[in-house]
Amino acid sequence: MFPLASINALGKPGVFLIELLIGFAFGFGLEISGFSNSYVLTGQFYFRNGRVIKAMFTAIMVAMVLIFGSVALGILDYDVIWVDPTYLWPGIVGGLLMGIGIIIGGYCPGTSIVSSVSLKKDAWFFVLGGLFGTFLFSETEPLFHYFYNDSFYGRLTVMDVFHISTGLTVTIFVILAVFLFWLNDVLVRKYAREDSDPFLKSGWVGRVAIVLVVGALIVWAIWPTWQQKWARVAPKKAPLLEQYQVQISPAELLSTLQDHKTNTVVIDVRDDYSYNLFHLKWEHHVPLNELEAYAPVLKKEVKKVPLTVFVLVSDDEGKSTEAWKILQAEEVPNVYILSGGFNNLIMVLGDEDIEEGRCAPAPSSVSDVERLNYYFKGALGDRYRASDLSANDEWAEEMLEKLKFKPKIKLQKPKGVAGGGCG
């Protein structure tokens, strides 16, 4: 799963050799763990054997600690690692069917291949049954196509669902795994038979548990805040702010919203009070203190629609600049700032609203870059002429003919993930 950027430098023979070694190591690991023995595999369901649970969850927890430890240190980019997309209900039903299949047949697809190499007859029957089942599935899939593709959530993680720190998530799962080891030992001692094999004695389980918990706590402790992530990318990104390369004019925002080939997402990072006074139609309201947790949603948007640009807006540029730093730290591409914020937008595009008395410039003594520098007749929200920038009408055409701007938006393609998945 580790995306080695230089692996292609080895050429096709080198890549094939590495794949062969990884495959051999994986098969060898399954073999020595007893996964080629159907009795061992089914023993987990009858609480006679703890090999499968201990080996699999130890491997998962070790991988989790090492992967997210590497991410925390900035060695690994989690966005280029393949994560199986979530199909909630099909996944639940498929998991139940696979569990029943393991109980009946004694293997899962991967372990049946390992066992078949050892010339076990039951494994060969399982492999042939799996091939027949695959053929049967392909022929009958139209009958349940809609359910098969139902409840699709894309790349979804526990962190996305519960909006908690990745370091905390790793720690929680490691503690749950250690509890599972203990519970499994209790059940195996209760239901074990004379030929049961505990795989790891309690002493070893305790040592493994301590190492895993310590590793998880280290990941939690070193997991970087967005400020620390920003410090890593600041040498490259800060000059863009200083050189005014990411601040776009209201005219360019209007032009981009008129371009239907581009998916323009306006994100308002102000508080509820300012938002209710004045905001744009169809914009996303994400207060600044919630933006970091919202970053994964924006990444998914870019991957779903590559020609997506995000424009951050606030009363001026204070909050939107901080929001830009947060999204750069979280590696969200194609993020820009509305130059001068809503104060500038209303000044450039709000003539009609001012003339008709819906808003008026505030006295200079009230003027503040961290607030709207206009008085409003009421909290009308998006019921202003200047609020509807996405409407493709004569007003927009007239404004674009009158306003001149130097385009700054340059769309970048999102990072592609490595292929993967386990059947």
pLDDT digits (tens, 9 = 90+) for 224-271: 999 999 999 999 999 999 999 999 999 999 999 988 888 999 999 999
Residue 241 lies in a domain: yes
What is the spatial distance between Cα 56 and Cα 50, in angstroms, rounded to a whole number?
A: 10
Identify whether residues 69 and 137 lie together within a single domain.
yes
The lowest-confidence range among 56-65, 111-120, 306-315 is 111-120
Q: How high is the pLDDT of residue 131? A: 92
Same domain assignment for residues 52 and 89? yes
In a domain, 407, yes or no: no
**Tens digits of residue pLDDT in 112-128:** 888 888 888 889 999 99
**Distance (Å, whole) CA 284 – CA 328:** 18
pLDDT on residue 311: 96
**Does residue 282 sit in the same domain as residue 387?**
yes
Higher local confidence (pLDDT), 323 or 22: 323
The CA angle 138-81-233, to the nearest 5 degrees, is: 150
In a domain, residue 1? The reply is no
pLDDT given for residue 412 in this prediction: 81
Number of domains in the chain: 2
Instruction: Kindly state whether residue 416 falls inside one of the protein's structural domains.
Output: no
81: pLDDT strictly greater than 70: yes
Tokens 């139209």 appear where? 142
Look at residues 264, 268, 386, 373 and name the one whose alpha carbon lies nearest to residue 320: 268
Residue 412 lies in a domain: no
- Distance of alpha carbon 15 from alpha carbon 7, whole angstroms: 7
Q: Which residue has the higher pLDDT, 198 or 43?
A: 43
Question: What is the mean pLDDT of the segment spanning 70-88?
Answer: 87
pLDDT of residue 366: 47
Q: Is the same domain home to 13 and 103? A: yes
Instruction: Examine residue 408 and state whether it is found in any structural domain, yes or no.
Output: no
For residue 239, give the 3-state DSSP assignment. Answer: helix
Final residue before a domain boundary, out of 156, 189, 224: 224
* CATH number, position 381: 3.40.250.10
Give the separation between CA 28 and CA 20, rounded to whole angstroms: 12
* Domain match, 240 and 387 both: yes
Res. 8: pLDDT tops 70: no
State the chain's mean pLDDT as an integer. 86
- Report how far residue 46's alpha carbon sits from residue 197's, in angstroms, rounded to the nearest whole number: 13
Q: Does the pLDDT at position 415 exceed 80?
A: no
User: Is the pLDDT confidence value at 367 over 50?
Assistant: no
Q: Count other C-beta atoms under 10 Å from residue 233's C-beta.
A: 15
Q: Is residue 414 situated within a structural domain?
A: no
Which of 224, 251, 277 delimits the end of a domain?
224
Q: Do the Cβ atoms of 38 and 122 come closer than 8 Å?
A: yes
Question: Percent of the chain having pLDDT more than 70?
Answer: 91
Q: Give the model's pLDDT for residue 9.
A: 66
Alpha-carbon distance 47 to 189, whole Å? Answer: 9
**Owning domain of residue 368:** 227-402
- Which pLDDT value is given to residue 119? 85
According to DSSP, the residues that pair with 152 across neighbouring strands are 87
Same domain, 210 and 231: no
Tell me: do 276 and 240 sit in the same domain: yes
Last residue of a domain, one of 191, 224, 257: 224
| Reported confidence tier of residue 2, pLDDT bands at 50, 70, 90 | very low
| C-alpha distances out from residue 77 to 42, 80, 82, 339, Å | 37, 6, 11, 31
* pLDDT score recorded for residue 153: 85
Q: Are residues 166 and 262 in the same domain?
A: no
Distance, CA of 192 to CA of 235 (rounded, Å): 60
Contact 336, 248 (CB under 8 A): yes
Does 80 have pLDDT greater than 80? no
